[in-house]
Structure 1
Amino acid sequence: MRKLFLLIVMSLSTMVLLNAQVEEKAAADAAVATTVKAAEIDSAKNWKFTGTVGLNAAQTALFNWAAGGNNNVTGFVFANMTLSFKKDKWTWDTNLDTELGEMFASDLNPKWRKSNDKLNLTTKGGFQMHPQWYLTLLGSFKSQYAPGYTYANNEAGDKTLISKWLSPSYTDLALGVEYRPNDIFTVGVYPVAGRLTTCLEEELRPNYGLPQNEDGTYKSVMAALGLRIHGGINYTLTKNLKVISTVTLFTPYTSKQQKFGNFDVDWDVAVTYNFLKVFSVSLMTSLKYYDQVKIDGAGWRKYSEGPRARVQFKEVVGLGIGYSF
């Protein structure tokens, strides 16, 4: 009887111990799950994804129109998106600004022509030295997707190549200080900035300031060390109205082709307004000035003949399908 009693007591004790271990393990697992979930929520709060994307189109049809004109259809897709990360004193931001479009005009030769083409990619990481000041390492890439041409005003439709993929392209790597007073506005000064200018198409290299070899041919790559200034605005005025703008200035310290203080300028502005959830009106402008890019202005300023550095400007107003986030 005593043995049976001891056996029962030992069995009950074992069951109690096992149950306690199970409860402890379950509590530990629950604590781990809670910690992981909290970490996931905290990690998600560190990321922010904003931007605008859309498809715009325009069409013109004329019949017995006394004032003249061309039947044409224009369409283009665009995207301006920013992915941001911030945790403790570290930040990381990546921006993609791109567009591509085509135009069809019934009375032109060739009828299909490129209307929009842009690829701008910028990424930067920062370390907070002061509540509003960050030590920043920045990289950027600018080019275009498809060949671009100028067209002669004749029936043959003669065209001259002026750009294509990586002809030209501009790749920057810069170290400097950035001022961030809020999530809307940033401006940075990068005294150590390297720029690689590339042009794979040999016939285009003289137009983009590539240096010559000893044999008279042109190099495909040009490297420069200089000063870069970069600013940006990403502002949602109302729920449906968004303004995104970036400006970049670059001037080399020592260059035979370009004097220090002659800045290359890239300034892009995109204003989008969404209505009825899926429709959008957009205004996009691009202003460029590159000291080494030579443009013949005879087509629009006949008194200013000969290729030289000129202000380039493009403006596009579109209506289509769009989404801002």
Structure 2
Amino acid sequence: MYQFRIIVFFMFFSAIGFSQTVDSLEMEKKQKSIDAFYRTQFSVFDTLVKKNDTIFIRPITVEPKMVLQDSVLMELKSGDVQQVVVSTFEVTKRNKNTDLAYFLIPKPNGFVYDRTPRANSQILYDALSPIRSELSFWKKTNSVGLDINQGTFSNWSAGGYSSVSGIVKGDFSRNYEKGRTVWQNELKVRYGLNKQENVELRKTDDVLSINSSFGYKSSVKSNWYYSAKMTLNTQMANGYAYPDVENPISRAFAPAYLFVGIGSEFFKNNFKAYISPLTLKSTLVLDDVLANKGEFGLEGGVFDENGNLLKAGRKSKNELGFLFTTEWNKALMKNVSLKNNLTLYTDYLNNFGNVDVDWQLMLEMKVNSLLKATLGGHLIYDDDIKNKRDVDGVQITEGPRVQFKQLLSVGLVYNF
């Protein structure tokens, strides 16, 4: 009865995101030819013309007097906010020829555009103009970086080991936004190594993450989207419980965590929240040795008394549960920003109420266009992941533990 009440609560909480307001302006679309549209509505115009970032109407046959408006788009220093300056012109004929005189009527009127819809209507200029617009609805960002830390000791009285470490990282995004449709795609890659004096080369970081989210909202007045999301998290190289480098405790796609679900997502400024009452979580262990050991919560293989494998272990496990994620980016001051990502997941059927936690907190300090300092932490708790450590050369397995990773780095970042 207790679990049933909690499930009902989650369902009610999820329904908030799905109860979007439908636009109040609903008009029946009538078939009308382009020629008839021009004759009745735009008889004095030839076509819509795009130059650089400005789309304006070009006159061909001008009445004795008419008024046109032009706009100029200007970038501001405050993040993604842009300013549009709208100017109004009075157009008149000169004598009997085709020369035109343009007079600026009022003082240019500027307003800030923050990507918030102001109306429910849209001019389909791209469909009516014989000159197709070059405007793209895709926005891409690419960022690659290298962090290097190095320390050398020679006859140092306080003691110490010489070491050098480095992390190669890359963040790539491809986002599509048109009208009420949003499709966001992101790829994150990180790999780090450390070499200390008289110690073998060791891995310090290893991340391969793919995120894809598709959303559609029924009203331009709402900040909620009907959304479908896919996330894949894994690694690229073997992991060890050092100093044991003979028995890997993880490999590429062993484990890998795949989340696929539907729900509702809230967008406002630099904050996003995703609620999914139906999310499939797949745990993959695509390595025979680790799968047969029953690692990461999977059913292991069956062995006889001599250690011979009788039945291979499972390489995947599927769960169905509730997923909640948030992403918040905050500019604390000039060139200093805070990023907070939190993911919570609980399975409906297996130990409901036991929550898997993935929390990342990152403070980025930008020195200039190429130099950046980063301070952050990453916390993970998953009841299916058992802790492993080396005791006197013997690898032992303990119960689940809170995993925590702290990072402080200064390095080069190149955006293109």
Q: Find out whether 1:175 has 2:262 as its counterpart.
A: yes
Residue 116 of structure 1: CA displacement?
0.9
Residue 220 of structure 1: CA displacement?
0.6
1:309 aligned to which of 400, 404, 408:
400
Q: Find out whether 1:72 has 2:163 as its counterpart.
A: yes
Q: What are the equivalent positions in structure 2 for 1:39-188 lying under 5 Å apart?
A: 39-41=133-135, 43=136, 46-50=137-141, 52-108=143-199, 110=200, 112-130=201-219, 131-152=222-243, 158-180=245-267, 182-188=268-274
Q: Find out whether 1:191 has 2:277 as its counterpart.
A: yes
CA 1:158/1:98 → structure 2, altered by over 3 Å: closer, same or farther?
Answer: closer
CA 1:113/1:297 → structure 2, altered by over 3 Å: closer, same or farther?
Answer: closer
Would the aligned equivalents of 2:163 and 2:195 in 1 still touch at CA under 8 Å? Answer: yes
CA 1:84/1:183 → structure 2, altered by over 3 Å: closer, same or farther?
Answer: farther
Larger helix proportion of the pair: 1
Matched to 2:272, the amino acid is T
**3-state SS, counterpart of residue 161 of structure 1:** coil
CA displacement, residues 94-139 of structure 1 (integer Å, 9 cap, x when unaligned): 122321111111221x2x1111111111110001135111110000
**3-state SS, counterpart of residue 134 of structure 2:** helix
TM-score, normalization by structure 2:
0.61
Q: Find out whether 1:251 has 2:346 as its counterpart.
A: yes
Matched to 1:72, the amino acid is S
**3-state SS, counterpart of residue 211 of structure 1:** coil
Q: Find out whether 1:264 has 2:356 as its counterpart.
A: yes
Supply the distance in 1 between the matched residues of 2:193 and 2:330 (Cα, whole angstroms): 29
Residue 204 of structure 1: CA displacement?
2.2
CA 1:28/1:179 → structure 2, altered by over 3 Å: closer, same or farther?
Answer: closer
CA 1:37/1:76 → structure 2, altered by over 3 Å: closer, same or farther?
Answer: farther
Residue 191 of structure 1: CA displacement?
0.7
Matched to 1:162, the amino acid is I
Supply the distance in 2 between the matched residues of 1:312 and 1:35 (Cα, whole angstroms): 58
**3-state SS, counterpart of residue 248 of structure 2:** strand
Number of positions where the alignment pairs a residue of Structure 1 with one of Structure 2: 281
Supply the distance in 1 between the matched residues of 2:331 and 2:143 (Cα, whole angstroms): 11
Residue 71 of structure 1: CA displacement?
0.9
The alignment's C-alpha RMSD in Å is 2.8
Supply the distance in 1 between the matched residues of 2:153 and 2:230 (Cα, whole angstroms): 47
Unpaired runs of 5+ residues, structure 2, are 1-45, 50-57, 59-124, 303-309
Would the aligned equivalents of 2:301 and 2:313 in 1 still touch at CA under 8 Å? Answer: yes
Q: Which residue of 2 aligns with 1:210?
A: 298
CA 1:35/1:115 → structure 2, altered by over 3 Å: closer, same or farther?
Answer: farther
More divergent stretch after superposition (183-192 vs 95-104)? 95-104
CA displacement, residues 46-65 of structure 1 (integer Å, 9 cap, x when unaligned): 33345754210000111122
Matched to 1:73, the amino acid is V
